[in-house]
């Protein structure tokens, strides 16, 4: 059993570690336990055989729900649990499920619940997240396999995306960020950037994001001179994956879809403000990070308590410079 993380971006960044697990245990059945959103990432994936959904907002709510779910896991007779999630809940789940070997970082006061605990020091805390997960496995003697991010779509999903997008080159604009408003660049600047891309490269623009970001998408579409395809809140995670796998470029805040794009090898221009690009930047070969050094960043806060200067300092012209670095002249 592999207990995945709870955020889409973090879960994508665990895929190199999952590749290590697959390489170390090629004949084992590897089952991912994840929340409903993250579970979609792994419903078709080469590094796992099955996904079991743990829904804390539904049937597995509260301790009674955790107990019920753990009893269900007990019936699986897992012999090893690898806990990529840092929370004590993950270790408690594995313990209640009677899994004899429980491996993970000694975080969140769960040391006594782990049979194979890995200490976390200052070095690990400063690592890029992909390296952080792989470091834990290395300390357990689990290594090998592909070190790259990896996601997979079915042919049917890619055909669907092609039908939705149609002909031509497409650039995805991902203006949301689930963690909080502090990570979001401004809609009018995304709109200016999108219009610049259309004018300079003749591309089509598709807006991507989750249901909670519909208003942002409407604001961007209203501010644009050209007409985008607004898919914000209109796709499942799997459909979003297929769309991002099909575009020529992704312009995004630090977000889950940014990492999804990186897993498909899409060139990325990523806007960073309050978050630390050294730990959560896209693990991609073709990428430009757009950020401005300010005295208060990275603060890692969900909402900016002052004037959002780290984001205000970034202009559409700055982002378009990053685009030109990746795509060249018009």
CATH number for the domain spanning 177: value is 3.40.50.2000
SS3 content of the chain, % helix, strand, coil (to 5): 45, 15, 45
* Sheet arrangement for strand 116-118: 50-53, 31-34, 2-3, 80-83, 101-105, 116-118
Cis-peptide, bond into residue 17, ω within 30° of zero: no
DSSP 135: H
Half-sphere exposure of 212 (CA within 13 A, CB side): 7
122 and 171 inside one domain = no
Mark whether 171 and 294 lie in a shared domain. yes
pLDDT at residue 295 is higher than 80? no
Q: Indicate if the pLDDT at residue 285 is higher than 90.
A: no
- 287, 260: one domain: yes
Domain containing 71: what range? 2-139
Q: Tell whether 174 and 31 lie within a shared domain.
A: no
- Co-location of 134 and 172 in the same domain: no
Q: Are residues 182 and 246 in the same domain?
A: yes
On whether the CB atoms of residues 270 and 287 are closer than 8 A, the answer is: yes
Query: How does residue 136 score in pLDDT terms, banded at 50, 70 and 90?
Result: very high
**DSSP characters over 262-292:** HHTT--EEEE-SSS-HHHHS---SSEEEE--
28-70 residue pLDDT tens: 999 999 999 999 999 999 999 999 999 999 999 999 999 999 9
Identify the pLDDT of residue 284.
86
User: What does the pLDDT average to over 221-247?
Assistant: 97
Rounded to the nearest 5 degrees, what angle is found at the Cα of 212, between the Cα atoms of 210 and 214?
80
pTM: 0.94
Specify the number of domains making up the chain: 2
Buried b / exposed e over 181-197, threshold 16 CB at 10 Å, is ebbbbbbebbbbbbbeb
Q: Based on the fold, state whether residues 179 and 304 are members of the same structural domain.
A: yes
Domain end point (choices 139, 169, 201): 139
Our measurement of the distance from residue 159's CA atom to the centroid of its chain's CA atoms, rounded to an integer in Å, reads 23
249 and 187 inside one domain? yes
């Amino acid at each position: 059993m592999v207990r995945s993380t709870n955020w889409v971006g973090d879960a994508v960044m665990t895929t190199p570690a999952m590749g290590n697990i697959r390489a170390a245990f090629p004949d084992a059945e590897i089952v991912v336990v994840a929340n409903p959103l993250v579970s979609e990432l792994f419903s078709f994936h080469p590094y796992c055989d099955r996904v079991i959904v743990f829904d804390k907002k539904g049937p597995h709510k509260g301790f009674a729900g955790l107990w019920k779910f753990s009893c269900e896991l007990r019936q699986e007779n897992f012999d090893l649990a690898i806990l990529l999630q840092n929370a004590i809940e993950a270790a408690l789940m594995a313990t209640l499920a009677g899994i004899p070997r429980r491996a993970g970082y000694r975080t969140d006061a769960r040391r006594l619940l782990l049979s194979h605990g890995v200490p976390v020091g200052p070095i690990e805390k400063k690592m890029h997240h992909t390296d952080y997960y792989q470091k834990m496995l290395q300390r357990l003697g689990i290594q090998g396999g592909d070190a790259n991010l990896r996601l997979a779509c079915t042919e049917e999903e890619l055909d669907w995306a092609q039908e939705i997008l149609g002909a031509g080159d497409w650039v995805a604009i991902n203006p949301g960020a689930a963690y909080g408003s502090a990570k979001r660049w401004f809609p009018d600047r995304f709109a200016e950037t999108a219009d610049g891309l259309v004018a300079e490269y003749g591309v089509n623009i598709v807006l991507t994001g989750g249901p909670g970001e519909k208003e942002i998408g409407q604001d961007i579409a209203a501010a644009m001179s050209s007409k985008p395809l607004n898919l914000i809140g209109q796709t499942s995670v799997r459909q979003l994956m297929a769309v991002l796998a099909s575009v020529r470029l992704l312009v995004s805040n630090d977000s889950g879809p940014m990492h999804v794009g990186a897993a498909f090898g899409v060139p990325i221009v990523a806007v960073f403000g309050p978050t630390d690009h050294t730990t959560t930047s896209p693990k991609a070969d073709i990428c430009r990070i757009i950020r401005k050094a300010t005295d208060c960043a990275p603060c890692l806060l969900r909402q900016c308590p002052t004037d959002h200067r780290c984001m205000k300092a970034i202009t559409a012209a700055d982002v378009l410079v990053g685009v030109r670095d990746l795509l060249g002249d018009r």
